[in-house]
A = this chain, B = another copy of it.
């Protein structure tokens, strides 16, 4: 097979298997090429991925070695992307009762959601995440996007204990903003004990929901390695019970009466 053909096939394969260790012999036999040719192909792919701002291909040395694709989002491109998203969200028509923001249209765009997933993966790829967790419903698309770049499964916590999926673990928690007691349920067989978890959600106010997920994860002896939220409400900062998180957007000065809102980039871009 010609190099040009191999590069196309390998690019597709690598993109579909982020963070996965792929051995050189695998590509050798798949494309019927010498290991030295495959190595050269991978060097070209690595260089071009960097140029396109979509990450890089890292060599894993040793007998059981190979390569791994680390998905990343180029800094300039990601800033541009998030700034344009912030602009779209600043539309006062998006203000919903209770200081929430209408984001369903944006979270309904698969390409946008994939870009958001790639952004979180840029931050979380080195953390050896086993599983991405979210709570139904709005965080689900985002959680899948992150998980697809981290190449790990998603587990979904439900607020509705009626779902029949066998035995469950449930906890009660106090919603930070409404101060109401709510319930969260996770099917026992959906999460192994001792997993390293990344929590993803679309919106964080005081953080009660995320705190609830953390409590639930304790029941599974899990480690919370990362918390990612698309947007945080900055006005609620004083009451926040979650401190260690990554946000892509910060929403502030929501004024329902005068129809005003400010959206700026989140701590993903300001902490280092």
| Contact A110:B48 (CB < 8 A) given known A12-B15, A12-B54, A137-B158 | no
From A15, A48, A52, residue with most partner B Cβ within 10 Å: A48
Inter-subunit contact B15/A108 (CB<8 Å): no
Q: How many copies does the complex hold?
A: 2
In this assembly, does A8 line the interface, its C-beta being within 8 Å of a C-beta of chain B? Answer: yes
Inter-subunit contact B165/A102 (CB<8 Å): yes
In this assembly, does A122 line the interface, its C-beta being within 8 Å of a C-beta of chain B? Answer: no
Residue of B nearest to A47 (CB): B5
Q: Which of A95-124 contact B (CB under 8 A)?
A: 96-98, 100, 102, 104-105, 108-111, 113-114
Inter-subunit contact A151/B111 (CB<8 Å): yes
Per-position 1/0 for A138-177, Cβ under 8 A of B: 0011001001100111111010000011100000000000
Inter-subunit contact A8/B7 (CB<8 Å): yes
Q: Which of A57-112 contact B (CB under 8 A)?
A: 96-98, 100, 102, 104-105, 108-111
Q: Which residues of B contact A144 (CB under 8 A)?
A: 110, 113, 141, 144
In this assembly, does A35 line the interface, its C-beta being within 8 Å of a C-beta of chain B? Answer: no
Inter-subunit contact A190/B104 (CB<8 Å): yes
In this assembly, does A187 line the interface, its C-beta being within 8 Å of a C-beta of chain B? Answer: yes
Please tell me which one of the listed residues B16, B108, B140, B165 contacts residue A190 in the complex, with CB atoms under 8 A apart: B108
Q: Which residues of B contact A158 (CB under 8 A)?
A: 137
In this assembly, does A44 line the interface, its C-beta being within 8 Å of a C-beta of chain B? Answer: yes
Inter-subunit contact B52/A190 (CB<8 Å): no
What is the bound-complex CA distance between A8 and B189, given in angstroms?
40
In this assembly, does A51 line the interface, its C-beta being within 8 Å of a C-beta of chain B? Answer: yes
Q: Which of A167-219 contact B (CB under 8 A)?
A: 187, 189-190
What is the bound-complex CA distance between A137 and B97, given in angstroms?
23
Distance in Å: Cβ of A40 to nearest Cβ of chain B: 10
| Contact A151:B47 (CB < 8 A) given known A96-B164, A165-B104, A190-B104 | no
Inter-subunit contact B156/A137 (CB<8 Å): yes
Please tell me which one of the listed residues B4, B51, B98, B147 contacts residue A4 in the complex, with CB atoms under 8 A apart: B4
Distance in Å: Cβ of A165 to nearest Cβ of chain B: 6
Inter-subunit contact A100/B54 (CB<8 Å): no
Known A-B contacts: A110-B151, A137-B156. Give 4 more (CB < 8 A).
A17-B111, A105-B153, A136-B137, A137-B140
9 contacts between A and B (CB under 8 A): A5-B47, A7-B8, A8-B44, A9-B51, A11-B12, A104-B187, A108-B154, A110-B147, A141-B144
